[in-house]
Amino acid sequence: MKTGDQIVQQLPWKWGVQGRIFIIGGLGYMFDAWDIALNGFLMPLVGAEFDLSLSARGLVATFNLVGMAVGAVVWGAIADRVGRKRAFSYTLLIFALFSVLGVLSPNYEIFLLFRFLAGVGLGGCIPVDYALVSEFSPKKYRGRILTALDLWWPIGVTLCGVVATMMVPLDHGWRWMLGMMVFPALLLFWIRRGVPESPVYLTKVGREEEARAVIDDLVAKTGATPEPYSIPQPGAGEGDDRPKGIRAGAQQFMRLWKYNPKITSVSWLLFITVLLVYYAALTWMPSILKEEGYADTAAFTGTTLMSGIGILGVVASTWLVDVLGRKWLIGLSAPLASAALVAFALMLEVNTAAMIWIGVFGFLMQITIPAMYAYVSEMYPTTLRASGFGWASSVSRVSTGFAPMLFGSLMWPQLGLPVTFVVLGVAVVLAVLWMAVAAPETNGLELDTVNEDADPATTTPGAGPDDDTTVPPKADPVRG
């Protein structure tokens, strides 16, 4: 007899059912992208209004990204403890509240505080959204769906670029840029209230009656043939006897490393190195171009170009993730994207060539990031998925949060752009090499079949989504 989880993962894909959750989750992800991209546009404008040095301007991104790092851990733990649905809704509400307060900031210090608190709210969107969407997605299409979810990122960055560029001429334009995000965020918060709780999550925490109600509703709405299924009882420490609060967050951290140190180290290193390169380019691109003599509008256009072409990269990634497999796609595209950024720095004085390399970087990086997000979310079991993704996101946000300040005060002035980007690229290559030997390929596997003894050689790279070959599951040390 099949389990409830297997029923959900073998349902047909319907846009009116799983597709609705994909769109609602993606819109929240779009806000995350918009807010991070906004840092790059805010830095020169806020810096001019408050007469800030280059390193002080970097604090705009630092406070926001560190807030997101805190939010990723907090909301990832909340999602694994009290459910995806509650965390799914309230992340945006907190973000909207502190974005409004940020618009009204009377000085730079208060502005930084509100950017940090807005980041705490929005930082939970990515880990919670990926956990929820992955758990509603059929196994056959899950890789493409999770990869396609990242399509919302370049859309958010591009919209941010267009709106920010339009508002540059306005008095206190940076305040208008912040205010523009509030009303859509509140609307999306209201829409998210109608999203059902993840049935995979409900089965894992012992809420059988609720799980069956959601699963039966999904079967009916997708037109699948009803069949009997079982709901396994949760293991010790997975049901209502789980610890709460700070102790719960600390326990999730310990469980991540106990579950599989290699998988967790690969997840963290990929997130840190790849996103360090991406956020360095995204955050500082307007400032770099302005230093090269571009006007405000032209400097902002460079970031918009990078993200706009990135939309094509996500589309390519959605197709390639099941053709090449997660590991091969990340292993090829991430170093090439880093090399494109070095080429941009070397040819910065040739305007046309610089813009071409910005576009190439945006395309390649948006092939890497969707595949990486899908890969990391698949390597953890259901009871650790949001926390695993959340902690990886958090450590990357901490490292990338301090990077803007170091980039503006030390790396860029002392090393120069080409050498700085070479150093970041070498870090990416090292992380990719560790992934190659330490983590398994997840292409074609059912959720929860990757385990602590998984060998990177036990799955076939490039296996298609219809390939049901899996590593025989062994006892999960977390679940007993």
**Tens-digit pLDDT profile for residues 86-111:** 776 777 788 888 888 999 999 999 99
Q: pLDDT digit string (tens) for 360-414?
A: 999 999 999 989 988 888 888 877 877 787 788 778 877 777 766 677 667 777 7
What residue type is 122 in one-letter code? L
**What DSSP string runs through 249-269?**
HHHHHHHHHHH-HHHHHHHHH
**Residue 433: pLDDT band with limits 50, 70, 90:** very high
Tokens of 420: 């700085």
Query: CB–CB of 127/69 below 8 Å?
Result: no
- Whether 464 is in a domain gets the answer no
**Cα 73 from chain centre:** 13
Q: Is the pLDDT of residue 30 over 70?
A: yes
- Rounded Cα distance between 310 and 441, Å, is 25
Domain that holds residue 285: 2-226+252-438
- Whether 452 is in a domain gets the answer no
State the burial class of residue 10 (Cβ atoms within 10 Å of its Cβ: 0-12, 13-18, 19+): middle
**What are phi and psi for residue 230, nearest 5 degrees?**
-110, 155
Q: pLDDT digit string (tens) for 249-291?
A: 677 778 888 888 999 999 999 999 999 898 888 877 887 787 7
More confident residue, 101 or 122: 101
- Whether 398 is in a domain gets the answer yes
Half-sphere CA count of 227, side-chain side, radius 13 A: 11
- Whether 10 is in a domain gets the answer yes
- Whether 274 is in a domain gets the answer yes
Q: To which residue do tokens 């803007």 refer? A: 404
Q: Is the pLDDT of residue 236 over 60?
A: no
- As a whole number, the mean pLDDT across the chain is 80
What residue type is 157 in one-letter code? V
User: Alpha carbon of 375 to those of 3, 64, 260, 345: distances in Å?
Assistant: 24, 26, 15, 30
Question: For residue 16, how many other CB atoms are within 10 A of its CB?
Answer: 8
Q: Is the pLDDT of residue 343 over 60?
A: yes
- Whether 446 is in a domain gets the answer no
- Whether 14 is in a domain gets the answer yes
pLDDT given for residue 480 in this prediction = 29
Nearest to 181 by CA among 244, 114, 228: 114
Q: Is the pLDDT of residue 337 over 50?
A: yes
Residue 283: CATH number of its domain: 1.20.1250.20
- Total structural domains in the chain? 1
Query: CB–CB of 57/180 below 8 Å?
Result: no
User: Alpha carbon of 428 to those of 35, 266, 292, 421: distances in Å?
Assistant: 25, 12, 27, 11
Query: Model's pTM, two decimal places?
Result: 0.69
- Whether 243 is in a domain gets the answer no
Query: CB–CB of 310/154 below 8 Å?
Result: yes
